[in-house]
Amino acid sequence: MELELILALGMFLCAILALLAGYPVALTLGGVALIFGLIGVEMGLIPLPILRNLPSRILGSMENQVLIAVPLFVLMGVILERSKVADDLLHTASRLLARVRGGLGYAVVIVGALLAASTGIVGATVITMTLIALPTMLKQGYDPKLATGTIAASGTLGQIIPPSIVLILLADAVSNANQSAAMRSGGGAGVVSVGDLFAGALIPGLMLVGLYLLYLVVTAILRPSASPAIELDEDTEPLSIGEIARSLGAPLLLIIAVLGSILGGLASPTEASAIGAGGALLLAGLRLAPEHGRPGDLGSIWAAFASVLILGVLANLMDLRINRESIPA
């Protein structure tokens, strides 16, 4: 076995062991990479000029405007999770499909797909559905393996359904690899944008949702006891059209605003992520407003949203970057 492969396997195992031991993710990844990088240099496996080019590569990543979409999509997901939009969505879907055999499983998959398409992150989806759906599914007699597997599988939809953060990071790597391959072959380098990856991953993501639902249908037919229907209380009122629209409206509006603008060519992924973060902030403020029976200050929400718009206008009118020699005088 080559020394490079041994070093790579050792680095992977050390990272896994450190994470299982409870060390912070940032310190684990950075520390393991630094230690094994120095080991590779001492063993002559990693040329020293590669390490000398590391600062320029880090600066290049910091100047990559596409990667700005990552924290904005994370912010959008956190806002939706804190404002209980995902909770209401899951409760509504569960009540709609409760009387159907396997209905809670269908609700979890559908909500997972909607949250994936509106947030792009996985953690908020899994945590929300685990805290809300799992106790209900176990209480209603669902097979624990089926319940936990359904929630875990639905949480992974955020990895492939746009706007996925993984696809944003992958687009940068694919574009660089494509340019390097074109330079070696002497041909023209085609641009692989984030929008291209979003468009390419949309259909496979929907197919994966369909396969999850098909599995639950087959399980409900072959093993009825594993996913029973739920009998609602007699005093439970049926959902009105207004309640359904309020629960589904928030994620659907964000999906249309974010994905529609990217796939339609109206905005770049970075601009769409800013639109999504601003929209999530506005929706959270509306949900926490006093007229919804919850404490809140709608004026401060509108002020924060207006400040974001003003910053966007100023960013287009003037160059806010500093200490750049390329800025025209």
Domain ranges of the chain: 3-63, 67-161+199-287
- Max mean pLDDT among 4-8, 51-55, 91-95, 147-151 falls in 147-151
pLDDT at 8 over 80: yes
Residue 121 three-state SS: coil
**33: nearest Cα among 52, 5, 10:** 10
Q: How far apart are CA 137 and CA 133, in angstroms?
A: 6
pLDDT for position 95: 78
pLDDT in tens, 270-305: 888 888 888 888 777 777 665 554 545 556 666 766
**Share above pLDDT 90 across residues of the chain, in percent, rounded to a whole number:** 6
213 backbone φψ class: left, alpha, beta (φ>0; ψ -120 to 50):
alpha
- Name the amino acid, one letter, at 193: S
> Crossing angle of helices 194-222/241-263, nearest 10°?
140
**105: nearest Cα among 202, 214, 207:** 214
Torsion of Cα atoms, 60 then 65 then 71 then 72, to 10°: 180
Q: Kindly state the average pLDDT of the residues 203-222.
A: 92
323 backbone φψ class: left, alpha, beta (φ>0; ψ -120 to 50):
left
262: exposed, middle or buried (C-beta count within 10 Å: 0-12, 13-18, 19+)?
A: buried
**167: nearest Cα among 263, 281, 266:** 263
> pLDDT band for position 213 (50/70/90)?
very high
Structure-token pair, residue 200: 């390419």
- Name the amino acid, one letter, at 202: L
Please give the model's pTM, rounded to 2 decimal places. Answer: 0.72
Q: Kindly state the average pLDDT of the residues 309-321.
A: 65
Cα maximum dimension of the chain: 74
- The chain-wide mean pLDDT, for the chain, equals 77
DSSP 120-175: --SHHHHHHHHHHHHHHHHHTT--HHHHHHHHHHHHGGGGTSSS-HHHHHHHHHHH
